[in-house]
Amino acid sequence: MKVAVLGAGAIGAYVGAALHRAGADVHLIARGPHLTAMRRHGVRVRSPRGDFTARAHATDDPAEVGPADYVFLGLKAHSYAACGPLIAPLLHERTAVVAAQNGIPWWYFHRHGGPYDGRRLESVDPGGAVSAVLAPERAVGCVVYAATELEAPGVVRHLEGTRFSIGEPDRSVSDRCVRLSEAMRAGGLKCPVEGDLRADIWVKLLGNISFNPISALAQATMAQMCRHGGTRRVIEIMMNETLAVARALGCEPGVSVERRLAGAERVGEHRTSTLQDLERGKPLELDVLLAAVVELADITGVPVPTLRTVHAISDLLALGSAA
């Protein structure tokens, strides 16, 4: 099994290291000091489950890698439309693209069935630019429940969780999903093949759609947002509006708002990825988290006044951050 990790940052390098440990032919595509460190010392994983080092091939040139069986995308979703020149050399006729993204993916309505089958969301696939680069037929969905961070160039700190749920857009249990799941599990990760991954997408989105923008606006940790009565109430309303949109699309996430809030509070003084991006002057990945659900609310006719308000304010913040 040949795997190319395009965007081998904290999550990508962690997955690549696990697959390399399982015996897969892994190629990590990165740049800068992180690439230099991985070339010299491999990926050094620091984890409560045990430290290890994986000396996988690392490069900044996808042409040096060539076509792979799987491309694991560790890029931010707002980079997908521009990644064509990077991903093209990695593709053959049957290459599967596994996107480890938060929020609503570009392939969401691909083989969805029902009245929205094949519909394109402008907020996540503007003008079809993402689908033109990443054909939905190649997509294997992936919902990441692991938390990692780059402690230093080439050093991945694994904080918690090892679950990477995967699934086909058409809800089938395909050979390519089964093979990937087996390799991930051999590398020490949890990788269930879900019959309907969209439920997992909405479960994780309940937290991302509320905590991520609010954390950036308030510059607050998870625990701070949960402890503050007013903010907790806003987040609760946002989650309930999100659940209403999911249900209008025929998806039942199977988790209560109370349980989601309790889990978030247990995380403690953690800064969301959106807050970290804001602090580092990086673009904020809010379109796939928030704008997409507002667009889905427009499609389904579900009222989401609080989501609209937070979207308007956080969108202005994102524009200022990108300036």
Residues annotated as part of the active site: 204
Question: In which order are the strands placed within the sheet that holds 164-167?
Answer: 57-59, 25-29, 2-6, 70-73, 96-99, 139-144, 164-167
List the one residue out of 162, 118, 172 whose CA is nearest residue 140. 172
Tokens of 217: 């606006």
Report the DSSP beta bridge partners of residue 16: none
Instruction: Enter the DSSP assignment of 190.
Output: B
The two beta strands, 147-152 and 155-160, are: antiparallel
The alpha-helical segments, DSSP class H, found in 66-196 are: 84-87, 129-133, 175-186
Q: Say which residue the tokens 């950036």 belong to.
A: 216
Tokens of 277: 């991006």
Contact 263, 210 (CB under 8 A): no
Question: Taking the CB of residue 226, how many other CB atoms lie within 10 A of it?
Answer: 21
Tokens of 291: 């704008």
DSSP string, 7-37: S-SHHHHHHHHHHHHTT-EEEEE--HHHHHH
With residue 164 as reference, give the H or E element that holds it: strand 164-167
> Helices (H), strands (E): how many in the chain?
13, 11
